[in-house]
Structure 1
């Protein structure tokens, strides 16, 4: 199997199948030799921030000298981003070989009526690769929810982390933050310690406390009173926490919340005997990189890229934009149909002067013309465009050098926009389609 054949097989899985549950994933892993049982994991769930938190923990563990596997969901630039060891993506040949191995098992299971999803196959590949490479630790990001997520076939992790919980994927996870928290708490097992972010939704936190007590897992919360912020900007932040200084490379005030969660996870791991120094934690936070998370890709005008795609994520990003001193701020955005467009539009209207709408590269993309009408009703001028290139060119044309242009609303859109924004930042003309 070639790399291209592997991608075609993985991405060719039928959507809408299979039904939620772990029985199928457990059977797949059993037939593959249960490689996940060889791994020591930090398991991270939440609505927003789980990717950034996972990246910070992984960077600090790597700085401490550990060989660290990490899963990323979803990818932004390239599919191989999903599988990383010490920040390096899986080689194409390794992905092809592991996909061929997983496919052989899946083919046999399908003959028995057991159909594995794309994410289950991705997760199986990750477990096989990490085990074969003998990583010291794995930072494992949940795909969606927790209890029935494919990643939840691991035994008790070294630590669970729960980032901010808000309303997203409500059709699958439930209509309230409490209901969603119940699902996400499904990763808590075996008395493993749990770190929950500061400022967690009150209803969600009540559920988390109850589930930790029921499952015999100690709960750790960051202390926001111990945070002293020195500087927040598009190049990152400097702050002190519990009297110790840190510099964080990721931009946005909301990343401080994720950083405190990551620090507490690392403190929990150190208490278990892992050799993690304050020097390593500081080095990890200073070095961490994560594309499409309030990422600045150019200046004059300021070019920002963010994957915010639900109201809580958009609120956090728009607060960053609102804090910027720019005479005019314009966004290019596109949403999927299942997102809360009115609430997202409310945040966009408070941060931007104008909006250009496009369809993200997904069959679930919302119609830009319909979104434009909805956003216009909220007082935000919104222009539907036929392509991302058209939208970027129009947005750039109306901005002074001191202005700000942001692309946000979908990680699918971020993936398409990043190379175009990088070219724009270099002064190159946005190509026509």
Structure 2
């Protein structure tokens, strides 16, 4: 057995004996669930984050993300099996480092890998022989091999696959999903060489129900993009069908409900006011950007992106039309209550939420906008919508509803009294079919 294989086997043995120490860089919607999965399997975790208040909150055992329980974190803090830190000098301590940092788009819709680059550089300054480094952040095929490996090798003189080990395993988190948690979702794993693959596969096999090894890190990176491009394209399709069927007087929601009774050859996707979250609005553009390097045009993906990006504009156009035709007043000066500011129901995550764009478009047209969201009491700072920061959620009451000219349902949280909305709002414009799903029908309710 070669020296490299011996190093890999030592790591695998430490995983099996639960002696391995896991470092997670980025304690957000991906990092915290990974930490919980690891603690649940008896693996010690050191969490790294640059946000000192967040680290302090976690180390105090306080909730940082509403839908994620903190009991295991609290127990880990007490037993010494878990701790969070901003001290990146400790990156040499763990046997494996999982990178779970944001990969947003730049202002020009190009990949912004600054967080991945900075994290990799921080690791390179402390990298020790035998460590496994795994990127989980969504990115274009080639990032692990073309960006991370040169940084790690050049800074240290160590060689990937020989002195340290590099892998990619895309996160598959679905915030708020009560059926599938981190440990219930199969994990795709690609390694830079056979030993890196074996090590990463062993680590994730200890955490999740099943691993899916693939031939390379680039393949694993492509898997993640394919999953979310598939969703983006199909959502664009139903968003376009909604416009076509609405012109024909056909309800797209009724069509989808009937179509999904077919037990094969069809998968339901649903229209909405635009795409939100960290994945679907962003991931397709990572591939379109990378494809240009190979002189390939991704026309289908770009068209889907155009349709989805256009949805908030179509929704506000429909809203303005209904304010005019149903209330007999101009849109300028109208008061609009946006119901739901999170990008999906039942969570407090507002990353890339179309509701933020809707508010801006409403106010650009001369109306005023407020919002109600039971999960988001105040709008936090965002990269794109800084002008909305610190706005506060309005209480939902008969008096509040009566004071607005229209209610625009942008996010269909379950814990909203839609009956109250239907009874007291002058006009309801529903982008999520929420009212119909709650059995509400009234002359003041319209779909958009």
The structure having more radius of gyration, on CA atoms, is 2
TM-score of the aligned structures, taking structure 1 as reference length:
0.38
Higher-strand-fraction structure: 1
TM-score of the aligned structures, taking structure 2 as reference length:
0.37
Where relative contact order (Cα < 8 A, 6+ residues apart) is larger, the structure is: 1
